[in-house]
Amino acid sequence: MSESQPVPSPAVAEDPVERLFDGVREFRDNVFPERRERFEELAKGQNPRILFITCADSRVVPEMITQTEPGDLFVCRNIGNIVPAYGEMMGGVSAVVEYAVVALGVTDIVVCGHSNCGAMAGLIRDPAKLDNMPTVRSWLRNAHAARSVVEVLHPELEGDDKIQALVEQNVVTQLQHLSTHPAVAAGIASGRVELHGWVYDIETGSISLHDAAQGRMVPFEESQGLKRKANA
């Protein structure tokens, strides 16, 4: 190697898997020792209170945006933060929901969509792009009801505005699907389980919450104000 060639920095690995290994070393050497007691406690078992269902998108990190710790969230991620209605597709998501409610006894379920969601964009823009992804296309059928609602309620919307409306409506649709699962329906009926719809904005880091009474997404700060008013 000549002197003019740049020497790769050992601090930032170029290879994506080397980057993971760097992280593993950092975790093992620095992060884990600081929280050893917490992890020893967690090794005995988990008792998360919240099932957090969100998109597989790499930019959405549930534990970061909620500043929660290992053991706090039972997480389910998939393309488009989708929950098939009960009986539609008895797969991984349905099993997660059932396990979270029945075995873990979670008290709250959050469905969290996000801005700039590629899955929602795929439903609106150029559906032909999904031709070579038959599994994705089939999976996104679980969001067709949301698209129909947006098209009838907001026929004027186009482009990014339409995608954002679909992101928000899809959260509402998936909450409806959730409530068709027997364990969830029973939990809601008995007052043991509460459902929450969120949309996370990647660019600003802000959260909006679905307000069922108003039938719209309410910015986080405003929703906290409404809660204070209701409790006053």
Residue ranges of the annotated binding site for Zn(2+) are: 55, 57, 114, 117
> Taking CB under 5 A as the rule, does residue 57 contact Zn ion?
yes
CB of 215 to Zn ion, least distance (A): 23
CB of 32 to Zn ion, least distance (A): 30
Beta-bridge partners for 200: 114, 207
Closer to Zn ion at the Cβ: 117 or 143? Answer: 117
Length of the chain: 232
CB of 82 to Zn ion, least distance (A): 10
| Chain residues 105-124 in contact with Zn ion, contact rule CB under 5 A | 117, 119
CB of 42 to Zn ion, least distance (A): 29
Closer to Zn ion at the Cβ: 167 or 183? Answer: 167
> Taking CB under 5 A as the rule, does residue 82 contact Zn ion?
no
List, in sequence order, every beta strand (DSSP E) within the chain: 50-55, 73-78, 108-114, 194-200, 207-211, 216-219
What is the chain's Cα-based Rg? 21
Site residue total, Zn ion (CB under 5 A) = 4
Closer to Zn ion at the Cβ: 97 or 119? Answer: 119
Q: Which phi and psi angles does 211 have, rounded to 5°?
A: -105, 105
- With vertex at residue 23, the alpha carbon angle to CA 65 and CA 8, rounded to the nearest 5 degrees, is 120
List, in sequence order, every beta strand (DSSP E) within 138-214: 194-200, 207-211
**Long-range contacts for 30-39 (Cβ within 8 Å, ≥24 apart)?**
38/69, 38/70, 38/71, 39/70
> Taking CB under 5 A as the rule, does residue 55 contact Zn ion?
yes
Task: Give the residues lining the site for Zn ion (CB under 5 A).
Answer: 55, 57, 117, 119
